[in-house]
Structure 1
């Protein structure tokens, strides 16, 4: 049973999300919070698997709350926003959020997103996420930091190739087809990449891939894909 905490300053959204997720057979809404301070306290006390986090809240906002929750609990944070290129979403990803959704998503998308974030298997809202990450890597004016490139040295050639494909937005099935391997093999590669690079999930892996220069926004590098 997935334990979910809902943090949003608007009663209507909290109620709506609570009804949708509470109706899922594999989910339980364990608490609500109306601001960032309440969200952090509730996350530490209730130990949810996933926190739905509104970004713009009075007092302590969702970004600060996300940073604290990711640093002090095992909960995954799913950011909710009204805007697909919200500046705050960029900061939330930097703070450790595992993904984000627009508040106008369908109810089935919300439940699917919670399950996805909990499993750490895939990025959310691919089109919006891709735009966000491309915006992210255009920001640094000083270029690629050598220390970030050096972090990738611990990966094997196949693991680097897997990371590159993950960062390009491919699903496990698509990566398996590209590399001519099984999905189980892809999951193993992804797991090793996260472990070796000390990353929480695929979102952080994608951010590192862009920031290290392994993937460049707007450019595709197919590489040479061979069977293991």
Structure 2
């Protein structure tokens, strides 16, 4: 159950794909403000982690060297200043981490009041059904289709194994999209790394998220919830 979304001003345009590369360690290129915020938060927290690691290693080496029992047999069992320092400084660091973290969490939970497009994704074992809800009515043909992963034997040259699908979802760039996710059988998870989206598909429940893709491209994702025998091929 591979997730593929094509973002383009022209639906017939062939755009480059955003997918994980072999031996990739970092993030995929961000295509939404949320994903860019996740990457920035990661870099900010990683900076503090490096500072803490260097400081702790420096203190450990210095303590082992200066307070060796042969050089300095005196033992320090209590120090008020030390207690204050290692209580205040971690609190300040946690505050610098918590403020951007909560800001990002609240921005991820924001729901667009009047989205341009509403797209519904229904998880099945083991494929997705997509529905353009804004264009479904009794007078017009329903814009609903199934999206299956292309078997490895049917792949064409240049197509990605375990990522390509027979029917892609096409939505315009720089447009507010409301995504509604649910499931028809078991738990699934609709996830696209480049968009910073991971939404659980729960039977009998509608989960909602908002997406604003800022550039054109083809964005690949996969089911992120173990959902049966063929989950590895979704």
Q: Tell which has more relative contact order, 1 or 2 (C-alpha 8 A, sep 6+).
A: 2
| Higher strand content, 1 or 2 | 2
| Higher helix content, 1 or 2 | 1
Which interval holds the TM-score relative to the shorter structure? under 0.3
TM-score (norm 2): 0.21
Structure with the greater alpha carbon radius of gyration:
2
